[in-house]
Amino acid sequence: MAKLYFYYASMNAGKSTNLLQADFNYRERGMRTMLFTAAIDTRAAMGAIASRIGLEKQAIAFDAATDLAAIVTTEHANAPVACVLVDEAQFLSEAQVAQLAKLADVDGIPVLAYGLRTDFRGKLFPGSAALLAIADNLVELKSVCECGRKATMNLRVDSAGNAVAEGAQTEIGGDDRYVALCRKHFTERLAAAEG
């Protein structure tokens, strides 16, 4: 039975690397995969899944209007799709998460979704909330805080490294804009920025 998996973590935990390794494993065995990533994230290039360690692969870029299930089922009818892999899954809509669940439940295609759990204020992203609610398997990937404890939060910082407490939920960036921290250090630095 196919399942919907949600691999979540803070920044710098290796989500994209893990996704690209899973894709490689399927393809090495001669199985066809389909990769998706959020169109809003153009840090590497439009439709590119890129890891910090240098791995990169092209994917289908999605936005809120993209019908993921329609794309996959059309391709699956032409040649079997063994697995669907989604990077930046926090940017999925609730409807798109339901589409991914349908691919697993009805079409029998495993779906591996990778993304952030929370934003820079510690609030759930809509896509992540939907995945946490209905995914068959939840897998936390680990990152490390500056203190050595497990990092679970993403602190947005300015160019001087100071915490940012206000702004839009989505602002694309990497190490220049976000720092992965444990909850204790996230809370302390965010409180200092708000105070």
Q: Quick one: pLDDT at residue 26?
A: 97
Q: Which pLDDT band holds residue 131 (cuts at 50, 70, 90)?
A: very high
Q: Does 94 qualify as catalytic in the annotation?
A: no
SS (H, E, C) 112-161: EEEEECECCCCCECHHHHHHHHHCCEEEECCEECCCCCEECEEEEECCCC
Catalytic residue among 28, 75, 88, 194: 88
Measured distance between the N- and C-terminal CA atoms of the chain, rounded to whole angstroms: 51
Percent of the chain topping pLDDT 90:
62
Q: What is the pTM of this model?
A: 0.88
CATH fold for the domain made of 4-142: Rossmann fold (3.40.50)
Query: Rounded mean pLDDT of the chain?
Result: 88
Q: Where are the domains of the chain?
A: 4-142
